[in-house]
Amino acid sequence: MTGYLFHVDPRANAEQGDELAIQVRMRTTLLKIAPKLRFVATPNGARRTMWEARKSKAEGLAAGFPDATILWPGGIAFVEIKARNGSLSVDQINWLNWLTQAGFNCGVFNNSASLFAKLREWGAPVPAMKVAA
């Protein structure tokens, strides 16, 4: 994974479903287990009319910006979510490398457990999850 300055989950660990399904599960679980966190989506992938696309670009929407920003008191992380078959675009790599070099917590995740562990490592108040046997 040369060229990545940020964490990237291995494809083999990916949860079932598409990116939206994985993101919704991550967000829903975080809201339940870590109420001090805020999970804010970036609507970069939304379909738009030509007029809406021009307006969004004028407002500052940036191609490749991470899917979500996770905030907690004293911390922030920028998160890109990928399904097993997903791949990073050049714009996404550039944004994540830039954010990492600027000192922000960043990563690409396809697994809730991996995201929650990394958030704890970054200092977020996320409790450890018990895994059912």
Element (H, E) at 114: helix 112-121
Residue with tokens 């040369």: 2
How many independent structural domains does the chain possess? Answer: 1
Q: Indicate whether 133 pLDDT > 50.
A: no
Q: In this structure, which amino acid lies at residue 106?
A: C
Which residues form the domain of 99? 7-121
Token reading at 59: 């407002």
Residue 127 covered by a domain = no
Residue 130 covered by a domain = no
Q: In this structure, which amino acid lies at residue 58?
A: A
Residue 79 covered by a domain = yes
Which pLDDT score is estimated for 49? 73
Note the pLDDT tens digit of each residue in 49-75. Answer: 776 667 666 666 688 999 999 999 999
Residue 68 covered by a domain = yes
Alpha carbon distance 4, 81 (integer Å): 15
Three-class SS state of 55: helix
Residue 132 covered by a domain = no
Note the pLDDT tens digit of each residue in 5-39. Answer: 999 999 999 999 999 999 999 999 999 999 999 99
Q: In this structure, which amino acid lies at residue 123?
A: G
Residue 87 covered by a domain = yes
Q: In this structure, which amino acid lies at residue 6?
A: F
Residue 1 covered by a domain = no
CB 7 within 8 A of CB 96: no
How many CA atoms lie within 13 Å of 50's alpha carbon, on the beta-carbon side? Answer: 0
Residue 133 covered by a domain = no
pLDDT over 70 for what percent of the chain?
85
Which pLDDT score is estimated for 3? 83
Token reading at 3: 């060229």
DSSP track, 42-61: --TT----HHHHHHHHHHT-
Alpha carbon distance 7, 104 (integer Å): 12
User: Which domain CATH number covers 44?
Assistant: 3.40.1350.10
